[in-house]
Amino acid sequence: MRHPTRGNNILDIVLINDENTIKDVETGPEFSSSDNRTLKFTINFDKGKVSESKEKVPDYRRANYTRLRMQLASIKWNILLETPDEDKTWEVFAEKINDTAEMCIPL
């Protein structure tokens, strides 16, 4: 900032990692409920072609929710999660949920 943003003081800073990221920085009028001024600037970003992702993601619209509910209901959770180690409990729980989801939700 090169111009005062509150009274005669410069109190605002715009952090960037490349000085070409923003341009046209302007100090605007004061807010109606404050003596701080607004800041206005333009962000430059590359509008290059975005490549299509090759990552496979679950298709929840085609999921078999009936099977998912049945599979989860058939798990003996109290036995499966009875370890006193919280980290191990979470690991077992997450693995069971993920395995069941993979069976019922196509990619």
Per-residue pLDDT of the chain (107 residues; tens, 9 = 90+): 566 666 677 666 667 787 788 888 888 777 778 777 787 888 887 766 777 888 889 999 999 999 999 999 999 999 888 888 889 999 999 999 999 999 999 99
Which residues neighbour 35 within 8 Å (Cβ) at sequence distance 6 or greater?
A: 6, 7
Residue ranges per domain, the chain?
1-45, 60-104
pLDDT of residue 3: 67
pLDDT of residue 76: 93
pLDDT of residue 11: 63
- By CB atoms closer than 10 A (0-12, 13-18, 19+), residue 37 is buried
pLDDT of residue 1: 55
pLDDT of residue 48: 67
pLDDT of residue 39: 79
SS3 43: strand
- By CB atoms closer than 10 A (0-12, 13-18, 19+), residue 59 is exposed
